[in-house]
Amino acid sequence: MNKYLNQLVKLSEINKEIDAFEPRVQKINKTLSVASEKAKTANSDIELLENEIKDAKLKRAKNETLLGELGDKLKSISKKTSSIKSEKEVKALQLEEDIAKEQSDFANDEINRLEKVIELKEGDKVKAKELYVELQKAEEDLNVSMEAERNAIKDEMAAAYAKKDELVSKMSQKILSFYEKIRKWAHNSAVVPVRKQACYGCFMRINDKTNSLVFNSEDIITCPHCGRILYREAAEA
Ligand SMILES: [Zn+2]
């Protein structure tokens, strides 16, 4: 392979290496944001449970107040009952007493139900808090390991750019701009191998003449179909 083509193949490899860094960084960011989102959700679950408990406690207190009032009412009814004579009044008081007792039963049931709700939600809250602590810890650990990964990528990137700078400084400007022109549309497949007499950029078969040129010529040969720079691989040669 001629020197210029050899440089182009190397440059193309380095550019591929450089372009592969961004998806790795994105993957790290994605992993971190997923972990952070999980912890946030767990935290809002705790808040939700706290609000539900607060609400149930408030309702319980209202029912307790009501129960107290109904107790007073029942006491006053029983006092009145002993002092009245007419049957009509007795009946009216009896009705009032029945209603108050029914309301008391209902308030008691409601308090019992709310007690159960509170107990259940308190249990859920404990679990949610444990989960939150766990997720927070996982997020912190992930931050540490991802930071190490980020630094590793930074080092690799610096090395790749240094390698590229060194190579480019030795290359001919004319060849470099020819390559960059192709790279604008072909991106990382600007320089491709020929395998089984096909261009590995557009995957079309190249004619015998071009194939022979790729294998024997000292010039830079491009694909007659797509215009990518072709080279022969050691194995194919
Ligand atoms: Zn092609």
> How far is residue 50 CA from its own chain's centroid?
26
CA 194 to centroid of ligand 1, rounded, Å: 9
CA 222 to centroid of ligand 1, rounded, Å: 8
3-state secondary structure of 193: strand
Q: CA-based diameter of the chain, in Å? A: 129
CA 178 to centroid of ligand 1, rounded, Å: 16
CA 204 to centroid of ligand 1, rounded, Å: 6
CA 16 to centroid of ligand 1, rounded, Å: 18
CA 141 to centroid of ligand 1, rounded, Å: 47
Q: Do 151 and 187 sit in the same domain of this protein?
A: no
Question: In the structure encoding, which two tokens stand for residue 126, read together?
Answer: 């404990």
Whole-number Å distance between alpha carbons of 130 and 143: 20
Please check whether residue 2 lies inside any domain of the structure: no
Helix residue ranges, H only, the chain:
3-19, 21-83, 87-170, 173-186, 208-216
pLDDT at 140: 96
Question: In the structure encoding, which two tokens stand for residue 149, read together?
Answer: 């990964």
Whole-number Å distance between alpha carbons of 9 and 17: 12
* Range of the structural domain that residue 182 is part of: 174-232
What pTM did the predictor assign?
0.72
pLDDT at 84: 82
Q: Do 142 and 155 sit in the same domain of this protein?
A: yes
Assign residue 49 the CATH number of its domain. 1.10.287.1490
In this structure, are residues 189 and 8 in contact, taking their beta carbons and an 8 Å threshold? no
Q: Do 79 and 193 sit in the same domain of this protein?
A: no
Contacts of 45 by beta carbon, 8 Å cutoff, 6+ apart: 128, 131, 132
Confidence bin at 1 (pLDDT 50/70/90)? low
In eight-state DSSP terms, residue 190 is S
Q: Is the pLDDT of residue 2 over 90?
A: no
CA 192 to centroid of ligand 1, rounded, Å: 8
CA 223 to centroid of ligand 1, rounded, Å: 5
How far lies 200's CA from each of 221, 225, 235, in Å?
Answer: 14, 11, 15
Q: Is the pLDDT of residue 13 over 70?
A: yes
Q: Indicate the range of 5-9, 15-19, 83-87, 104-108 predicted with least confidence.
A: 83-87
Please check whether residue 194 lies inside any domain of the structure: yes
Mean pLDDT calculated for residue range 209-218: 92
pLDDT at 236: 55
CA 201 to centroid of ligand 1, rounded, Å: 5
Q: Do 150 and 34 sit in the same domain of this protein?
A: yes
Model pLDDT for residues 60-103, shown as the tens digit of each residue: 999 999 999 999 999 999 888 888 878 888 899 999 999 999 99
Q: Do 156 and 84 sit in the same domain of this protein?
A: yes
Q: Is the pLDDT of residue 139 over 70?
A: yes
- What does pLDDT average to over the chain? 94
Cα torsion angle, 216, 217, 220, 221, sign: negative
Q: Do 104 and 64 sit in the same domain of this protein?
A: yes
CA 212 to centroid of ligand 1, rounded, Å: 15
Question: DSSP readout, 106-174?
Answer: HHHHHHHHHHHHHHHHHHHHHHHHHHHHHHHHHHHHHHHHHHHHHHHHHHHHHHHHHHHHHHHHHS-HH
What percent of the chain has a predicted confidence (pLDDT) above 70? 98
Question: In the structure encoding, which two tokens stand for residue 153, read together?
Answer: 């990528």
CA 215 to centroid of ligand 1, rounded, Å: 16
In this structure, are residues 206 and 194 in contact, taking their beta carbons and an 8 Å threshold? yes
CA 231 to centroid of ligand 1, rounded, Å: 11
Whole-number Å distance between alpha carbons of 206 and 219: 17
Number of domains in the chain: 2
Q: What are phi and psi of 229, to 5 degrees?
A: -75, 130
CA 189 to centroid of ligand 1, rounded, Å: 10
CA 236 to centroid of ligand 1, rounded, Å: 17
Q: Is the pLDDT of residue 234 over 80?
A: no
Give the chain's radius of gyration (CA, Å): 41
Q: Do 162 and 207 sit in the same domain of this protein?
A: no
